[in-house]
Each structure stands twice: as C-alpha cells, then as structure tokens.
Amino acid sequence: MAKSKNAQTSQAAKRKLSEKQLHEMLYTMMLIRRFEEKALDLYSLGKVHGTMHLSIGQEATAVGASGALTQQDYLLNTHRGHGHCLAWGSQADLMMAEFMGKETGYCRGRGGSMHIANVDANNLGANGIVAGGLPISVGVGLSIRARNTEQVVMVVFGDGASNEGAFHESINMASIWNLPVIFLCENNQYAMSMPVEKSMNIDRISDRAAAYGIEGVTVDGNDVEAVYEAVHNARQRAIAGKGPTLIECNTYRYMGHSKSDRQAYRTRDEVKTWMDKDPIERLAGHLDMSKKDKDGLFKKAEAEIEKAVEFAEASPEPDVADIMEGVYA
Amino acid sequence: MPSPNGTREITYVEAVREALTQSMQADERVFLIGEDIGVYGGAFGVSAGMHAEFGGERVIDTPISEAAIVGACVGAALTGMRPVGEIQFMDFITLGMEQLVLQAAKVRFMFGGKATVPMVLRTPGGSGTGAAAQHSESLETWFTHVPGLKVVMPSSPYDAKGLLMAAIQDENPVIFVEHKLLYKVSGPVPEEPYTIPLGEPNIVREGKHLTVVATSIMVQRAKQAAEELAKEGIEIEIVDPRTLNPFDDSLMIQSVVKTGKALVVHEAVKTSGYGAELVSRIVESEAFDYLDAPVRRLAGLDIPIPYNRNLEYHAVPQVENIVAEARKLVRGEY
C-alpha cells in the first residue's frame, strides 16, 4: 500500500471537510457501531431471525463515501451494508424494525438485514448476492444518462466480488459508455474465509481498473477523510462525463463473516493490529476530542439506538394475510 | 383491442419490430439493449432499421455480457426507464440468470412492494434451425417457476405485437419468448398500436372432441393438425395460454369440461415441463369429473436438441405426432 498516496489524499481532504462536518461524520460512525452492537445483542437474545453481516471496524468507508455524495445520487449496497444504509441517512428505527422483521421496517419485514432499501431516498438496496449490485449499477448509469440529470450511482461491494464475472462485465460496460458509476470496493481482507492474498495475484484490487481503461485508486478505508476525498473526486469525474472510477478502500471487519463464523482463518493478533487502527478512535484523535466528549457522543448514539429498538419492539408483525403482497406490481 | 380481421398481413418478426417501434415512439423511457441489435439489426433481424430511426442511445449495442445486459435492464427499470433487453438466443440466458432470478424477480418483494421493475427481456427459443444443443432450447418453464416474473410466449404475429406492447407497459419483469421458426410466419396484424392483456389465454379454434392446449409454435402445428383431423370428423379445440405465468386457467378448464379430453403440447422437454403444470391444473379442477380419458402430454424428448436434421425433427412434436395422439385420445385408445 502506498502510504504517501494516502497521506496526500488526507491532506487534501482536510481542506474540504469542516470541523463540523467531521463531527457529524464521527457521530454517524458511532451510530453505525452502536447499531450493529445492538443488533448482535438482539440476535443473542433471540429477537432477530436469521443471520447478519456486521461491518464493525469498517465505519469510515461507509461514512466517508456517502458523505461525498448528494441526496440525488443513488446507492447500491452490499450484504454487509448497515453502515452504508445509516450513512446514506436512513432512519435507525425503520432499519431496526426491518431487522426484527416488523411491518414498519423499510421492507415491511420481507427483506431483513440483507435487503434493506429505501427506493424513495435513492437507496436501491443491499444485496445478498456477491457482485449482484454491479450489473444493476450499469442500468442506473444508463438511466441517469438517458434522463440527462446530474446524478451518479455508487455501487458498494467487497474484495470477494472483484473475482466474480459480473464485476468484469459491469465495469467494462460502464467504461465503454462513460457512465457515472462509482465502483466502491471495500477490501476488508477476507471473502468469508478466503484472504485476498490467496484469491488474487495482485497487490491492489484497484489495479484491475487499468484492464477496463478507467481510473483506479486505493485508499486507507479506515481514514474517513481519505475515503471522502476519493469518492468526491470520483463524483466530480463522473459528473464531468469522464466515466467511472474503481475505488478500493482497505479496511477490516472485527467480527466474523456472519453469525456462524468461528474465525479459524485468522489470528487474534491480526485482529488486534487492525483494532489499533480503529476508524472511530482515529477520527476522534484527529479532532482532539476529550474522552468525556467522545463518551458523550457515544451516549447520544446509544440513546438513538435505544429509541430505535423501542420503536421496533413496539411495532406489529406483518399480517400473514398479506403474505402474497409485493410479488407482482 | 382491435380485431385482426380485414387488416394487412405481416410476419411475426415484423410484428415484434412494430411493437418495439410504436412503444418507443409513444414513450421516450423505452429503449432497447442487447448484442448486435444496432446496425446489424439483431441476430434474427428483429431490430433491423431501428438504430437508424432511434439512434445509438435508444438502440444500445452491448459487448457479449449477458449478466450486465440483464442487470442494466434492472437498474434502468428501478430508476424510471422501461428497458427492453434482448438475449440473442434463449440458451444464453443461463449467463444472466442471477440478475434475472435473484434480482429482477425478487427486488419488489424483498423491498416490501416499494420498488417496481418494469422491464422486458425478449429472447428467441426453440429448435428447427440446425443450431444444435446450445442454440435451440426451450427454457420457459425455468421462468414460470420464479415468482415475480411474467412469462409470455406469443404464437402468432397478432399476439406477438399486442402482447409485446402490453409487456412493455407492464410494471413487472416480463420474459418474452419468441420462436425462431415463427419469425417468418405471416398473419393479420392491425397497424394501430394495441395491447393484449397479459394472463389471458386465447381459444384459437373451437371444437368438441378434444381440448389441445399448446404453446408457441405448437399452436401453429396444432392448427395444421386440426385440419387433418377435421377430414376424419374430429374437431379439436385449441387453447393457447399466451401468458404462461400468471395464467388464468378458467378458459382451459371450461374447454376440458366441454370436451372431456385434453392433450397438452409443447416443444420443451417433457420431464418437469410446463405441460405438467397444465395437466395438474386440469386434474385439480372441476374438469376432473368430466374426463373421459387420461390427460396426455406431447412434448420434446428428454434429450438435448441434436444437430442432424432428421434427429432434430424427431426430437420435438410435429404435426403428425399431434394428429396421431389426438386420434388415439378421441377414439378411446388410452
């Protein structure tokens, strides 16, 4: 990884983001972390059905990326997408209700953790299929071009998705047509248990951009300002008609792939190394926050999550009589 | 919808093209996307001349990337457009199945009914062109097995135009299965735009001795068989579902109640084919009490389509097979 490059982008970003914006970003990162920790608790209590994919440790990527986009832009999210969803401005209570399978949830309890969407807010949904969102992003890009609007679409996926055929087809197509697509790869180092070093013979996933004739950058995904800067630049390029960008954000998930993961493929030391680079601690440090202020902000996030849980728990279950709804329009 | 009677005759391929052209003229959200559909005009000439009329922004040539073609339709449909994708041969949909089955079909349901995916995927299926096993399949049943998709299979130029215009206006993902051998078949088609509601079957021919339920090219073969059988005094009634899913089976069931006998005919392989669904619907209904004979299926052999002309011919039902099967059923030989 080119540290000098990361350092440069961070310097540039500092000029772009005000202290107030950075404080807001820190809060959103804390909200994401508390949301997911609470989700884990609820799962342990048997209140959440199925499985979940937690992004604890990856919050800077989600917050930096969404922060560089506008409300008119589109998001196509991954299965590990709670962070991006919250960063996009989704309500924690409606997300939590979806998580608990309630009628009041974003998807009326039909989608759950892996399919949270809010189409009205241009959040076109999380996707349970690795690389499933990439081909769709091509269509959104075409649609933007046909409607001649100043929008972009950001599709988020993991390192594992970059080994799917859909990755190749989609980036190639977006490239030949110069579509306003931002391909955001969250390289959290593992595709379930498969480490990136064993799944590809290159050092940087962003090197793959060259094969499609598009811009590719690798940034420190735990540095919210670096991510912001990269996505901001990609958006500028897309709006200017200069086509798509592949951004690789190097980050790490502290938790297992999903609830069934015993994490036999990595060491505690490795996890600890990454925890030392924790994105929330880093930003708080950068902002010279006192422990008291930081704890206070976490408390605020906790309170918001508690309210979300209260809302979700008080919400009704879907009515079985409505089970057939939504298959066809 | 206007009657086909007294109008000019055009071919099935011209009818498909006219439906696309009129839909694009009426609605600027409609665009075409697929392999070689531009200047080349499509592998079967469906979009011939359309690139010149509408330009490359609305008749979009793609690389050979079926997953991205289907996905492009999904993304465009989710964000306000009405894409019509072409999969050059039905067999190639295997390369786009994830986007079709796991994305297009399920997005609306997964999102709690809060998204719509108004897209059409046109594709030519069927054998008879000597293209062998990887370019001749009839895979429609795969799609009828996926809730969220609509599956349409027109058997005539008139139906092709009306059903395609309806499919493009529909708010759901529609798989529109054309047949390569039907492309050159002519029939009356009104010039003005019209739609045939999806889900409504058609009584192609009335008769009292036997109900023949047929799809796509088998409707044409059943009509030819009917002429042969009529010479022997056997009058078959032909029901064409037109939309395989969702399918309103009431006309088919009424027909079987009337005739007391049913034969289901399709080109796709027999095992787990659409015929099994049709037979089940018949025997689950009140028509069961009126049956005078076993309900029979005539379908493709359970083999890949062979290359050799004679083998290919014998791999799927032909007119003489329908005649023979109908004769046995009507004469009580089962």
> A196: distance to nearest CA of chain B, Å?
24
Instruction: Write out the two tokens for A153.
Output: 């679409």
Sign of CA pseudo-dihedral B129, B131, B133, B134: negative
Chain B residues near residue A327 by CB distance under 8 angstroms: 108-109, 147-148
- The verdict on a CB contact (< 8 Å) between A135 and B113 is no
Question: Both ends of chain B: CA-CA distance in Å?
Answer: 41
Pick among A104, A114, A142 to test the B interface (most B CBs inside 10 A): A142
Q: Looking at the partner chain, which of B31, B72, B116 has a beta carbon nearest the beta carbon of A138?
A: B72
Kindly report the backbone phi and psi dihedral angles of residue B182, in degrees, each rounded to the nearest multiple of 5, phi listed first: -85, -20
Q: How confident is the model at residue A141 (pLDDT cuts 50, 70, 90)?
A: very high
Q: Looking at the partner chain, which of B65, B102, B108 has a beta carbon nearest the beta carbon of A129?
A: B102
Nearest-angstrom CA–CA distance, A224 and A205: 19
- Domains of chain A, by residue range, sit at 3-10+19-314
Q: Does B312 qualify as catalytic in the annotation?
A: no
Q: How confident is the model at residue A259 (pLDDT cuts 50, 70, 90)?
A: confident
Q: How confident is the model at residue A11 (pLDDT cuts 50, 70, 90)?
A: low
CB A27 within 8 A of CB A297: yes
Q: What is the DSSP letter of B103?
A: I
**Closest by alpha carbon to B151, among B125, B129, B131, B188?**
B125
Q: DSSP for B273-329?
A: -HHHHHHHHHHHSGGGGG-SS--EEEEE-SSPPPSSHHHHHHHS--HHHHHHHHHHH
Catalytic residue among B18, B35, B66, B267: B66
Angle, helices A224-239/A59-67, rounded to nearest 10 degrees? 40
CATH class of B9-188: alpha beta
Q: Within an 8 Å CB–CB cutoff, is residue A170 touching chain B? A: yes
**Closest by alpha carbon to A248, among A202, A279, A312?**
A202
Q: Which residue of B has its CA nearest to A103?
A: B112
Q: What is the structure's pLDDT at A4?
A: 39
Please state, rounded to an integer, the average pLDDT across all residues of chain B: 97
B320-330 pLDDT tens trace: 999 999 999 99
- β-pair partners for A247: A184, A217
CA dihedral B84, B87, B89, B94 (to 10 degrees): -140
- The verdict on a CB contact (< 8 Å) between A108 and B150 is no
- The verdict on a CB contact (< 8 Å) between B172 and A117 is no
CATH class of B202-330: alpha beta
B153-193 pLDDT tens trace: 999 999 999 999 999 999 999 999 999 999 999 999 999 99
Catalytic residue among B14, B51, B86, B135: B135
Q: Within an 8 Å CB–CB cutoff, is residue B206 touching chain A? A: no
Q: How confident is the model at residue A15 (pLDDT cuts 50, 70, 90)?
A: low
Nearest-angstrom CA–CA distance, B170 and B330: 40
> A134: distance to nearest CA of chain B, Å?
8
Q: Is pLDDT at A8 greater than 90 in this prediction?
A: no
* Type and span of the H or E element at B190: none
Kindly report the backbone phi and psi dihedral angles of residue B271, in degrees, each rounded to the nearest multiple of 5, phi listed first: -65, 125
Are β-strands A194-195 and A190-191 bridged in parallel, bridged antiparallel, or unpaired?
antiparallel
Pick among B24, B27, B114, B198 to test the A interface (most A CBs inside 10 A): B114
ipTM (interface pTM): 0.95
Q: How confident is the model at residue B3 (pLDDT cuts 50, 70, 90)?
A: confident
A103-126 pLDDT tens trace: 999 999 999 999 999 999 999 999
Q: Is pLDDT at B211 greater than 70 in this prediction?
A: yes
What is the CB neighbour count within 10 angstroms for residue B293? 17
CA distances, B48 to each of A179, B155, B189 (Å): 26, 21, 19
Q: What share of chain A has pLDDT > 90, as a percent?
A: 89
Beta strands in B191-276 (DSSP E): 202-205, 210-214, 236-240, 243-245, 262-269
Q: Which residue of B has its CA nearest to A115?
A: B110
Q: Does B66 qualify as catalytic in the annotation?
A: yes
Q: Is pLDDT at A34 greater than 80 in this prediction?
A: yes
Q: Which residue of A has its CA nearest to B104?
A: A136
Q: What is the structure's pLDDT at A3?
A: 36
Q: DSSP for A73-108?
A: SEEE--SS-HHHHHHTT--HHHHHHHHTT-TTSTTT
B291-313 pLDDT tens trace: 999 999 999 999 999 999 999 99
Q: What angle do CA B135, B138, B142 make, to 5 degrees?
A: 120
Q: What angle do CA B72, B75, B79 make, to 5 degrees?
A: 135
Q: Which residue of B has its CA nearest to A101?
A: B112
Q: Within an 8 Å CB–CB cutoff, is residue A50 touching chain B? A: no
CB A148 within 8 A of CB B86: no
- The verdict on a CB contact (< 8 Å) between A136 and B81 is no
- Domains of chain B, by residue range, sit at 9-188, 202-330
Q: Within an 8 Å CB–CB cutoff, is residue B38 touching chain A? A: no
Q: How confident is the model at residue B135 (pLDDT cuts 50, 70, 90)?
A: very high
Q: How confident is the model at residue A145 (pLDDT cuts 50, 70, 90)?
A: very high
What is the CB neighbour count within 10 angstroms for residue A272? 10
Q: What is the structure's pLDDT at A16?
A: 78
Q: Is pLDDT at A10 greater than 90 in this prediction?
A: no
Q: What is the structure's pLDDT at A12?
A: 52
Q: Is pLDDT at A309 greater than 90 in this prediction?
A: yes
Q: Count Cβ atoms within 10 A of the Cβ of residue B269 and give its class: 0-12 exposed, 13-18 middle, 19 or more buried.
A: buried
Nearest-angstrom CA–CA distance, A122 and A133: 14
CA dihedral A145, A146, A149, A152 (to 10 degrees): -40
One fold for B9-188 and B202-330: yes
- CATH code of A3-10+19-314, in short, is 3.40.50.970
How much is the CA Rg of chain A, to the nearest whole Å?
Answer: 19
CB A109 within 8 A of CB A101: yes
- The verdict on a CB contact (< 8 Å) between A132 and B103 is yes
